[in-house]
């Protein structure tokens, strides 16, 4: 069967000569596979029954607006929802079980949020029938005799209640007013306020006003609020964004602890978190924005490993044409190149700011080098960079040279720009799109922003916004780049694409990039060396000199008291349960990050 999707935002019939309709061989033979239609406000619609999937319209469209994909015929009986004619199509649903946490893993735009909306009753699925209104009765009819029947029956008869933590927490923050503790007290339907406060370590910001919270504090507040509500089903869309590694593990524990006996579904792109939190995994595969298909249920380990391998054994399905590789390299291409000079160096530095003080050990960075900064939030990473580029002066210690320029991607990405993606990039660096074909190819196209150039920034998804902000930071020619958590809201594949773009630009411009990210796999992938920040957040920080990856990771994990092993089949890092045999063994050997 065929799925034909038209991105109507990109389609501009007044600017293209309507080549899609004119060149279609079915149309030319006198039949109709594609035509302009009032139903689509004068834009084309494709009739999937007559279209032969030749792909000519896809190639002819100058705005990349059409996607046509062949999917196996047996998907047809699993159609769950279609967003309008030539809209995204979802096949299959994950099967929730009480007291078993379901992890949902898959790339962006394949329907994860749609699934959470269906399972929480916010969206009634239409099973691809666009002629008639979808109703709960039709859904029950459809699932009669199936595992999901009793779930939907209870849901629609209001016998079960659902709490849904949405992905993009910036939207919630605008609606909340007041102090964290007071707000949470109001929603504490389960009488678990103290437990939530302590499991999520919320003491330090309990009395803060919500408008002043950092990203991580806001995330914990919103997850905490969900856990305090009395419900039978808890759905979490990307709960780990903005949290540091230790906080992610604490969050996983808190969710496990506080949802015993309930239905729980968690969407997340951090494989370490999903591994720790889920009892079973469903993988969502397909083509972003076109279609998504839910896999069978796998055990957590097999599910994650199959995803990494790009192949689902139980359904004999290849879902990616490559494998994700995990490896730790202590020697990078910079180390073996002879033509690399030093770009900057700093002496041991100290800085006192009101109630916060920072000590940074001496170090240097080479042209084109990427230095990963690991450490909790509020420990002085940004303060260090601001000293490097001369925005603030250290109390002691000297940096050489002075006057370096900085380009910065902040942690939190807020869509506070009125114009389009094109205008946003042009204001970051004038004429960058028209004068630099290299930037267009290496950044704009790779990050798939070329299809969004005329979209309004405020309508972008979290992942699209993140890619735009990374691209805008890369558009500026600077000596020093700082990327603060470029991986939040991105799927596993997009994280690697973004990492690669950062690396290319840094090497090409012989700049230095400092990368703050809590996804350890990203540092495995692009950081040349690691600086470890430790101490007491908000009070005192200590930064190490740049270290090799293995030394840096080991020091970092030792500092936060976690050990990681490597999965025997894929090499992916897995957090050991504290006190387990491997955890104790690795601690004894001082091997916190197993190689």
Residues forming contacts to ligand ADP in the complex (CB under 6 A) are 83, 87-88, 108-114, 289, 353-354, 356, 377-383, 538
Of residues 133-162, those binding ligand SF4 (CB under 6 A): none
- Map tokens 């805008």 to a residue: 472
Pairing of the two strands 233-237 and 162-165: parallel
Distance CA 535, CA 94 (A): 43
Q: Is 18 in the site for ligand SF4 (CB under 6 A)?
A: yes
Site string for ligand SF4, 45-84 (x = CB under 6 A): -x----xxxxxxx--xx-x-xx-x----------------
Distance CA 101, CA 300 (A): 10
Nearer CB in complex with ligand SF4: 6/370: 6
In 404-511 the beta strands, taken as DSSP E runs, fall at 406-409, 480-484
- Our measurement of the distance from residue 247's CA atom to the centroid of its chain's CA atoms, rounded to an integer in Å, reads 17
Pairing of the two strands 233-237 and 263-267: parallel
Pairing of the two strands 529-536 and 162-165: unpaired
Closest contact distance (angstroms) between CB of 420 and ligand SF4 is 17
- Our measurement of the distance from residue 55's CA atom to the centroid of its chain's CA atoms, rounded to an integer in Å, reads 31
Closest contact distance (angstroms) between CB of 374 and ligand ADP is 10
Q: How many residues bind ligand SF4 (CB under 6 A)?
A: 28
Tokens of 184: 């949470």
Nearer CB in complex with ligand SF4: 60/253: 60
Closest contact distance (angstroms) between CB of 59 and ligand SF4 is 9
Q: Is 140 exposed, middle or buried (0-12, 13-18, 19+ CB in 10 A)?
A: middle
Closest contact distance (angstroms) between CB of 36 and ligand SF4 is 7
* Residue 513 near which of ligand ADP, ligand SF4, none (CB within 5-8 Å, type-dependent): none
Q: Is 85 in the site for ligand SF4 (CB under 6 A)?
A: no
Tokens of 414: 């807020």
Nearer CB in complex with ligand SF4: 52/398: 52
3-state secondary structure of 413: coil
Nearer CB in complex with ligand ADP: 165/507: 165
Closest contact distance (angstroms) between CB of 371 and ligand SF4 is 44
Closest contact distance (angstroms) between CB of 51 and ligand SF4 is 3
Residue of 222, 480, 518 lying closest to 366 (CA atoms): 480
Q: Is 413 in the site for ligand SF4 (CB under 6 A)?
A: no
CB atoms within 10 A of CB 189: 12
Closest contact distance (angstroms) between CB of 43 and ligand SF4 is 6
Nearer CB in complex with ligand SF4: 11/277: 11
Nearer CB in complex with ligand ADP: 220/574: 220
Closest contact distance (angstroms) between CB of 71 and ligand SF4 is 14
26-34, 263-271, 474-482, 562-570 -> range binding ligand SF4 (CB under 6 A): 26-34
Nearer CB in complex with ligand ADP: 222/432: 222
Distance CA 148, CA 144 (A): 8
Closest contact distance (angstroms) between CB of 180 and ligand ADP is 17
Distance CA 261, CA 324 (A): 34
| Single residue of 1, 26, 193, 453 touching ligand SF4 by CB under 6 A | 26
Closest contact distance (angstroms) between CB of 119 and ligand SF4 is 33
Tokens of 340: 């690399």
CB atoms within 10 A of CB 212: 10
Distance CA 207, CA 495 (A): 35
φ/ψ region of 418 (left if φ > 0, alpha if ψ in -120 to 50, else beta) reads: alpha
Q: What are the DSSP calls for 326-367, one per residue?
A: ----SS-HHHH-SSPPEEEEE-SEEEEETTEEEEE--EEEET
Q: Is 34 in the site for ligand SF4 (CB under 6 A)?
A: yes
Tokens of 494: 């997009």
* Residue 52 near which of ligand ADP, ligand SF4, none (CB within 5-8 Å, type-dependent): ligand SF4
- Map tokens 């004038």 to a residue: 430
Distance CA 156, CA 121 (A): 7
Nearer CB in complex with ligand ADP: 111/573: 111
13-21, 171-179, 452-460, 492-500 -> range binding ligand SF4 (CB under 6 A): 13-21
* Residue 377 near which of ligand ADP, ligand SF4, none (CB within 5-8 Å, type-dependent): ligand ADP
Contact yes or no for 72/91 (Cβ under 8 A): no
Contact yes or no for 268/240 (Cβ under 8 A): yes
Tokens of 431: 């004429």
Distance CA 16, CA 4 (A): 19
* Residue 44 near which of ligand SF4, ligand ADP, none (CB within 5-8 Å, type-dependent): ligand SF4
Nearer CB in complex with ligand ADP: 331/392: 392
Report DSSP state, residue 396: B
* Residue 53 near which of ligand SF4, ligand ADP, none (CB within 5-8 Å, type-dependent): ligand SF4
| Single residue of 13, 87, 181, 571 touching ligand SF4 by CB under 6 A | 13
Closest contact distance (angstroms) between CB of 85 and ligand SF4 is 13
Element spanning 505, H or E: helix 492-509
Nearer CB in complex with ligand ADP: 289/390: 289
* Residue 148 near which of ligand SF4, ligand ADP, none (CB within 5-8 Å, type-dependent): none
CB atoms within 10 A of CB 414: 12
Closest contact distance (angstroms) between CB of 247 and ligand ADP is 13
Residue of 21, 85, 88, 83 lying closest to 56 (CA atoms): 21
* Residue 83 near which of ligand ADP, ligand SF4, none (CB within 5-8 Å, type-dependent): ligand ADP
Residues near ligand SF4 (CB under 6 A): 6, 11-13, 16, 18-20, 24, 26, 33-34, 43-44, 46, 51-57, 60-61, 63, 65-66, 68
């Amino acid at each position: 069967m065929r799925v034909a999707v038209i991105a109507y935002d990109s389609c501009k019939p007044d600017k293209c000569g309507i080549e899609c309709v004119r060149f279609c061989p079915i149309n030319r033979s006198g039949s109709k596979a594609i035509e302009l239609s009032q139903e689509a406000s004068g834009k084309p619609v494709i009739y999937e029954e007559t279209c032969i999937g030749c792909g000519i319209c896809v190639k002819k469209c100058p705005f990349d607006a059409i996607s046509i994909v062949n999917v196996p015929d047996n998907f047809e009986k699993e159609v769950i929802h279609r967003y309008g004619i030539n809209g995204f199509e979802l096949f299959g649903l994950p099967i929730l079980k009480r007291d078993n946490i379901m992890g949902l893993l898959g790339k962006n735009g394949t329907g994860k949020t749609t699934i959470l909306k269906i399972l929480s009753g916010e969206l009634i699925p239409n099973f691809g029938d666009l002629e008639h209104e979808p109703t709960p009765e039709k859904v029950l009819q459809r699932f009669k005799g199936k595992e999901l029947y009793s779930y939907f029956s209870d849901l629609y008869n209001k016998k079960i209640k659902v709490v849904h933590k949405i992905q993009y927490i910036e939207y919630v923050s605008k609606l909340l007013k007041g102090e964290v503790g007071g707000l949470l007290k109001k929603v504490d339907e389960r009488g678990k306020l103290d437990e939530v406060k302590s499991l999520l370590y919320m003491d330090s910001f309990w009395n803060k006003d919500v408008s002043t919270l950092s990203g991580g504090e806001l995330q914990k507040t919103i997850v905490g609020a969900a856990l305090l509500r009395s419900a039978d089903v808890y759905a979490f869309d990307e709960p780990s964004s903005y949290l540091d590694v230790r906080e992610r593990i604490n969050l996983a524990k808190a969710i496990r602890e506080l949802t015993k006996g309930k239905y729980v579904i968690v969407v997340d792109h951090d494989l370490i978190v999903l591994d720790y939190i889920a009892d079973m995994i469903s993988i969502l595969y397909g083509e972003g924005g076109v279609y998504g298909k839910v896999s069978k249920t796998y055990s957590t380990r097999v599910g994650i490993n199959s995803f990494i391998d790009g192949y689902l054994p139980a359904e004999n399905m290849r879902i990616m044409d490559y494998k994700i590789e995990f490896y730790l390299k202590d020697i990078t291409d910079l180390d073996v190149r002879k033509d690399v000079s030093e770009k900057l160096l700093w002496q041991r530095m100290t800085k006192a700011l009101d109630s916060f003080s920072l000590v940074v050990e001496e170090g240097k960075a080479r042209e084109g080098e990427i230095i990963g900064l690991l450490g909790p939030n509020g420990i002085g990473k940004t303060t260090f960079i601001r000293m490097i580029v001369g925005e603030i002066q250290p109390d002691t210690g000297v940096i050489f040279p002075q006057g370096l320029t900085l380009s910065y991607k902040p942690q939190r990405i807020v869509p506070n720009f009125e114009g389009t993606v094109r205008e946003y990039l042009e204001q970051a660096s004038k004429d960058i799109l028209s004068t630099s074909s290299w930037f267009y190819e290496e950044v704009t196209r790779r990050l798939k922003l070329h299809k969004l150039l005329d979209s309004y920034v405020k309508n972008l998804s979290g992942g699209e916004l993140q890619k735009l902000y990374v691209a805008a930071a890369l558009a500026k020619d600077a000596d020093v780049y700082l990327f603060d958590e470029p991986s939040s809201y991105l799927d596993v594949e997009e994280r690697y694409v973004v990492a690669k773009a950062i690396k290319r630009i840094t090497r090409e411009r012989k700049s230095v990039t400092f990368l703050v990210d809590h996804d350890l796999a990203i540092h495995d992938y692009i950081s040349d060396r690691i600086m470890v920040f430790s101490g007491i957040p908000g009070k005192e920080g200590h930064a190490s000199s740049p270290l090799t990856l293995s030394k840096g990771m080991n020091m970092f994990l030792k500092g936060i008291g976690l050990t990681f092993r490597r999965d025997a089949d894929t090499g992916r890092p897995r957090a050991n349960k504290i006190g387990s045999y491997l955890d104790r063994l690795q601690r004894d050997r001082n091997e916190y990050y197993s190689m």
